[in-house]
Structures are given as C-alpha cells and as structure tokens.
A and B are shown apart, each in its own frame.
Chain A
C-alpha cells in the first residue's frame, strides 16, 4: 500500500488489518508513555491548505507517538503561500527528504495530484467534498468496538449535508465494505445530484428511521448552505433534520450516536444529546489518533506478514 487517497484503495482485508493495527495502537495510547519507536527517523509532513487544527493535531500526534519527525505546513502561516503552486510546494518539501505527507485541501483530487508528483506516501486528510478516508476508518472502528467485528446488516443512518460531505462519501464506502446497510437522510438540496451506484438508500424523513436504526451519524451543517438557498434557515433545518432531545428519546435503547466534529451544538444535534450516554463523539476523537497511527505504520513500515528471526 503506497497511499491512502480514498476508501477505494482498500479492500475488506486491508480495512480489517487497519482496524486490527489500530487496536494495538489503542493499547499504546493507553500507556503511561504512549510512544513506540516504530517510525523513528521517518519524516511525516502535514500540509494543510484548510484550517483544521483538530485533524492536523490528530495526525501529528499519531506520527509523534510512532517517534516519527513531523513538519507542519499550514495555510495561515507564512509557510504555505497561496500563490505558490501545489506542485512546487510539495516538490520543495520533498527535496528535504520526507517519507509521508498528510494533505488537506479545499479541492477534490488534490491528494491524487500530489501522489503523482512525489515518491512519499500520501495520506488524504480531506480533499474538498470528495473523501476523508481516516475519518471513515475511525468511525467504523468505533462502531465495531461497540457492536463487534461483524456488522453485516447493521443499520446506519447518515443525516445532514451529504452532498457537501467528504466524511459521508468515505463513510458510505467503508460501511458498505463491512456489509452495513446505510440510509442517507436529507432534503434533496443536500443529497448528491445522483445516487446511481451508491451502496445506500435515501429518504427525506428522519422520523421514519429513528425507530429501527442502530447507528445515527450526524453531519455538520454549515451556515453558508442557508445562504445558498439549500434550505430556508438553520431553524427549519433543525426542526426537520436535527437530533433534538425529543427525537433522541425515541431512538432504540442500543442506538449509538456519532458525529465527525466539529459540532454545531443546537443545530444538527442538541447539546444534551451530544454529551449524553449514547454519544460516541469523544471516543471517535480518541480512536482517531490510533487509526492514524495504524495508517502511518502500514504505509511506512513496509507491509504485513509476521516472522522475525528470534
């Protein structure tokens, strides 16, 4: 495995392997000194053209816990100049000798393009609305840690701005790979223009799924969408598609609630629900570091298979 650009890069076996590796790394993150020398001497670059402290720190923490060296290039600091071409930027950085680059960019396909220009392993940390593979890996890891490794037939509903969500695109693929049944819940303005070939169904009606869904994943709704006339107001969005306290009370007893963050408390999810007992939001963040350790390890350690000369 050279890069992680999309969930399409993984088959079922590879996804299971990453989850298994993440389990090992969860144990590591639980230690007094949560660090292993595994990637000592490797250089991991984080190249973030979008402001995202949380995800960037999650990746950087993952790299540091593997004892790799980290270089940060983030927009907003002078190190990423808006005028300099992506190609020039990455080739200049790569000339310093790097092993992996974690990239987030507002344009779909940026990670794919980067992978054509450098020998280093490229990890897509979010490219426009296209994909965010490590988010889907940590989401599915979190579900499996609660529902067991086999989640065939598990009913998952993804609610909110699917059209503009790279998290949703990656989650749908990863969940399908694991055999889960996915339903998208949103008005047509927030669904993709075509669902042909998507391994999921869609509905406008959140009420209709509440009773028999096993996992409810909420997506962040952005204020700009209201300005684009995707729906009349945040108030109306919350009234029809928000996970209010009332709706949460009508969920089945074992239903789990997830959100990739950052949350708009009171919009797509009521604060009490976000902090409540069903919510796995904090655990998702915790699992994020471990899964990113697994991804970096897998890309930079040279593969799988056991056997060492004792």
Chain B
C-alpha cells in the first residue's frame, strides 16, 4: 500500500518470509543467497538463513530459481473504470503478480479518463489492496483530446509522475511544447508519448508495408512513429523536460533515440515483448489478436528493437497490457480494437527471446524489467532496488529453466487476447512478494486467483 506521498505504508506482516535456496540477481550482481523478509522489509541476505530463523516464518522454496527485485511495468491498461468486463484493477494486478510484477503504472485512457483528481484518487484507493502496487498515470490533456492541459499539478499532488495521453498521440506540437514546459515545475514528472501521427495513420490497422499491401489492409507507416519521435526529441531539447517514448516499434525511432541519448538528451524509451518477438507477417490470417497500435512491424524493425534493448537505447521493457472482451477481439480485423495482453508472458518472453539467444544478459534483462522502469516511474525507493537488508521487500522469484505453454484460459487476466496462445516459453514465475507479503506462491495467486 502506498500513501499520497509515495512512501510505503506497510501492511504489517505478522509472520516473516524466508526465500530459500535461490540465486539473488540485482543491479549489484549475482550471488547464491537466502533472503529473509520481516515487517515488509528485507531483514537479511546470506547463506543458509534457515538456521536461527524465528518460528512461524513462511518458507518459499527458491531452489533452481532467481530471486530478483519485483518487476515494474510502466505501461498497463487496467480498464477500470469503464470496461470492467475486460479487466479490473484487481484482476489486472493479479495478472501482474503472476507475471512477477510488484508495481504497474495504470494508463489513464479509462472511462472516465484519469484527467481528474477525483478519478485518480478513486483508482488509487481501489488499488490500495491489490496484488501489486498500482500507480496511476495521468492524462496530459483533458479527455486526451490534445487541446487543453489536464490538471497536471493536482494529479502530481496525488503522486502521479508519468503523464500520457496514451492510446492517442498528442499530435499538436504547440500543445506538446506547453505541456513539457509546464511539467518542468512538477518534480519527477515525465511526459510520455504514444508516437503515431494520426494524419499518417488514417484508418490503418497494421504496419504499412509488403504485408498490408498484399492483404489489402490500410496501413500505419513507420514514419508515423518516427516523425513524432523526432519532433518530440527536438521539443524535449528545447524545453529540457524528461521525455519518455512509449512502445517503440520502428528501427527509425530507435536510431533517433540513440542519437539523442548520445547527444546527452534526457529521453527514456520502452519496448514491448510483442514488438521484440512478432512481426507483421502474423497478421496474414486476419486474426485480430495480432492487431495492436503501434502495429507489429517488419523483421528489421523487430531486430532493431532487440538491438536497442541490448545497447540500452531502449531503457525498459513495458507490456502495454491491453485486455479486451472476447467478442470485441472477434470483430472483423479492421473493426476490432487494438491491443494484446502482456503481463503474464513478459518475463518468459524476455528470457526466451532475448536472454537465451544471448542478446541480453540476465542482469540487463532484469534491469529493463525492474530497476530501470522503477527509476523512470520514480519508484526506486521501494521497487527495483538492490536485494539488501533494509530494502522494501518487493521481490520476484522465477525459475529460468521451467518450460510452459501459454494457455489463454488459464491466465489470471479476465481477458484472453494473448497473441502467444500455444507458444512454448522458458522461464516461469514461482513466487512474488509485495511489500513483504507473498502475492503469488508456487505460481498461483495467494488469494486463490
């Protein structure tokens, strides 16, 4: 639980937790160690802590597992308020916990949107006892219409740090500039952009290229992303405000961000597992489960995203978890809403597609999934931090060698729209600990979900 100032208000835990037999991996390195958690914080990290342990401690077996800081998702759609049949704050948080997440930033494109202090407060209150920490993202503009600024200061007072109109692109350069300039007066505020120029995208439903031409589906060109990214980078240089680019999907944008970082600009960026795994060829069967904005792109774009994660150009892996009711995703391809699930497969896809082939080390992968997004979201005081005595016990325990097959009917999410149904993955969460309280034990939610 977190209060308005962001300091952890810890749920008093009557018993401690011992995570035994695992390999601790965090930003400082790797070591075989047990982890003892008491009172919501890490009490000890070391060899064989079982001896001399107080009675009544819950033991979580971590043999063969990695013990890491809990994962942090910068980009989750919890659909509450407005579309609770697809997902609720609680079901989404359970899905997050199953995926090893201890914190998610809830995207503000709800109905009503998070452009109002009362709605944000309600969401935070609702999420206070959820299976992961729910942090609210706030809209940049009222109603996400891209014209008038939302009450950024009021939202900031409630703890909002990431501001985005996600789902929509803030395409008016003048409004984007003013939003960035105003945000400089809000410490820790980050302006995050869904970079897809609407005029270039039109009614496109997939990447504009060979496949869209063949399938007769109007496309969304790569340039729709890169022209906005290039423009926003210039505006970020002009205003000095931290810019975060959501779900980078094109080689062009990766290149621009790389150059901007080399020039010293304060820009961060994220990429989704579906963008580093799938390509537009997946749309060949017209299955709307593969429809997403920004769309799945070419193999070259996918490879550029992977390279961007490998060299740190892209700081974080974020899921853009986008649940939809089944009947919505069964509509014809051009009419179906865009978006895919992501929370429960992100870690496994990262391990299978990036770590196993040697593109990222395990530390780099966990950095992208945990401490780097924690830093961007301003949560480093309690998430992503080194697994050391005194730290808040937000932890993820996973078996990097466990293989499993994705079954949409067995997910914690209320929705089923995962493009990875039937896919065999390596790497599975065994336990998740939120502020000292286990939320997932042996792969199942602690509350039975």
Q: Do chains A and B touch in the complex (CB under 8 A)?
A: yes
A220 within 8 A of B: no
Q: Is the CB of B217 within 8 A of A108?
A: yes
For the complex, is B371 an interface residue (Cβ under 8 Å from A)? no
Cβ-neighbour of A194 out of B213, B216, B287, B332 (below 8 A): B213
Residues B334 and A108 in contact, CB atoms below 8 Å apart: yes
Closest to B328 in A: A85
- Please give, as numbers and ranges, the residues of chain B lying within 8 Å of A151 by CB-CB distance: none
Q: A109-B286, A113-B286, A196-B210 are in contact. Are A86 and B216 (CB under 8 A)?
A: no
The answer to whether the Cβ of B212 comes within 8 Å of any Cβ in the partner chain is yes
Asked whether A192 is an interface residue with its Cβ less than 8 Å from the other chain, the reply is yes
A86–B331 CA distance with the chains assembled, in angstroms: 7
- B157 sits at the interface (CB 8 A): no
User: CB < 8 Å: which of B208, B214, B221, B285 contacts A112?
Assistant: B285
* B332–A86 CB distance below 8 A: yes
Give Cα A194–Cα B287 distance, bound, in whole angstroms.
22
> Cα distance A108–B204 when bound, in Å?
12
**A87 and chain B: residue at smallest CB distance:** B330
Chain B residue with Cβ nearest A196: B210
* Contact indicator A130/B217 (Cβ below 8 Å): yes
**Taking the complex as formed, is B335 at the interface, i.e. its CB lies under 8 A from any CB of chain A?**
yes
Contacts of A87 in B (CB 8 A): 327, 330
Contact between B213 and A108, CB atoms less than 8 A apart: no
| Distance to closest chain A CB from B213 (angstroms) | 4
Q: Please name the residue on chain B nearest to A110 by beta carbon.
A: B332
Q: Give every chain B residue within 8 A of A197 (Cβ-Cβ).
A: 210, 214
B221 to chain A: closest residue by CB:
A193
CA distance A194 to B217 in the complex (A): 12
Shortest Cβ distance from residue A93 to the other chain B in the assembled complex, whole angstroms: 16
The reply to whether A106 and B334 form a contact with Cβ atoms under 8 Å apart is: yes
Band of interface residues on A:
20 to 34
Interface residues on B, range: 20 to 34
Number of contacts between A and B (CB, 8 Å)? 72
Answer yes or no: B167 CB below 8 A from chain A CBs. no
Question: In the bound complex, how far is the Cα of B334 from the Cα of A154, in angstroms?
Answer: 36
Q: Contact string, A180-212, partner B, CB cutoff 8 A, digits 1/0?
A: 000000000000111111100000000000000
The CA-CA distance from A15 to B287 in the complex, in Å, is: 27
Please name the residue on chain B nearest to A163 by beta carbon: B213
The chain B residue with its CB closest to the CB of A111 is B286
Given A85-B331, A109-B286, A113-B286, A193 and B213 touching (CB < 8 A)? yes
Residues of A contacting B216 in the complex (Cβ-Cβ under 8 angstroms): 108, 127-131, 166, 169
Could you tell me if A128 and B217 are in contact, using CB atoms closer than 8 angstroms?
yes
B118 contacts A by Cβ under 8 Å:
no
A109 touches B330 (CB 8 A): no
Complex: A62 Cα to B335 Cα, angstroms: 31
A residues within 8 A CB of B198?
none
Residue in A85, A107, A192 whose CB lies within 8 Å of B333: A107
Chain A positions within 8 Å of B335 at CB level: 107
Interface code B38-67, partner A: CB below 8 Å = 1, 0 otherwise? 000000000000000000000000000000
Question: A292 in the interface, Cβ–Cβ < 8 Å?
Answer: no
Known: A86-B332, A105-B332. A112 touches B286 (CB 8 A): yes
Encode A91-108 as 1/0 by CB contact (under 8 A) with B.
000000000000001111
CA–CA, A86 and B286, complex, Å: 14
A85 touches B217 (CB 8 A): no
Nearest chain A residue, comparing its CB with the CB of B336: A107
Residue of B209, B287, B334 near A193 (CB, 8 A) is B209
- Docked-complex contact A193 and B212, CB < 8 angstroms: yes
The answer to the question of B215 belonging to the interface, with a C-beta cut-off of 8 Å to chain A, is yes
- Among A88, A109, A198, the one with the most B-chain Cβ atoms within 10 Å of its Cβ is A109
- The interface residues of chain B lying within 8 Å CB-to-CB of A169 are 214, 216
Q: How far is the CB of A132 from chain B (nearest CB, A)?
A: 10
- Bound-state CA distance A106–B335 (Å) is 9
B70 at the interface (CB under 8 A from A): no
Cα distance A129–B287 in the bound complex, in angstroms: 16
Residue of B nearest to A86 (CB): B332
Contact across chains for B334 and A85 when beta carbons are under 8 A apart: no
The answer to whether A194 touches B209 (Cβ under 8 A) is: yes
Q: Is the CB of B331 within 8 A of A108?
A: no
CA distance in complex: A87, B216 (Å):
22
User: Do residues B219 and A193 form an inter-chain contact, with CB atoms below 8 A?
Assistant: yes
Q: Is B218 at the interface (CB under 8 A from chain A)? A: yes
Nearest-CB distance from A224 to chain B (Å)? 12
CB-CB under 8 A from A127, the residues of chain B are 216
Distance A106 CA – B327 CA, assembled complex (angstroms):
18
Docked pose: A109 CA to B285 CA in angstroms: 7
Residues of chain A whose beta carbon lies under 8 Å from any beta carbon of chain B: 85-88, 105-110, 112-113, 127-131, 166, 169, 192-198
12 contacts between A and B (CB under 8 A): A85-B331, A108-B333, A108-B334, A112-B286, A113-B286, A113-B330, A128-B217, A129-B217, A129-B218, A194-B209, A197-B214, A198-B214
Give chain B's interface residues, CB within 8 Å of chain A.
208-210, 212-219, 221, 285-287, 327, 330-335
Given A85-B327, A109-B215, 6 more A-B residue pairs with CB atoms under 8 Å apart are A108-B215, A109-B286, A113-B287, A169-B216, A196-B210, A198-B213
The 5 closest A-B pairs by CB, nearest first: A109-B286, A107-B332, A130-B216, A129-B216, A192-B213
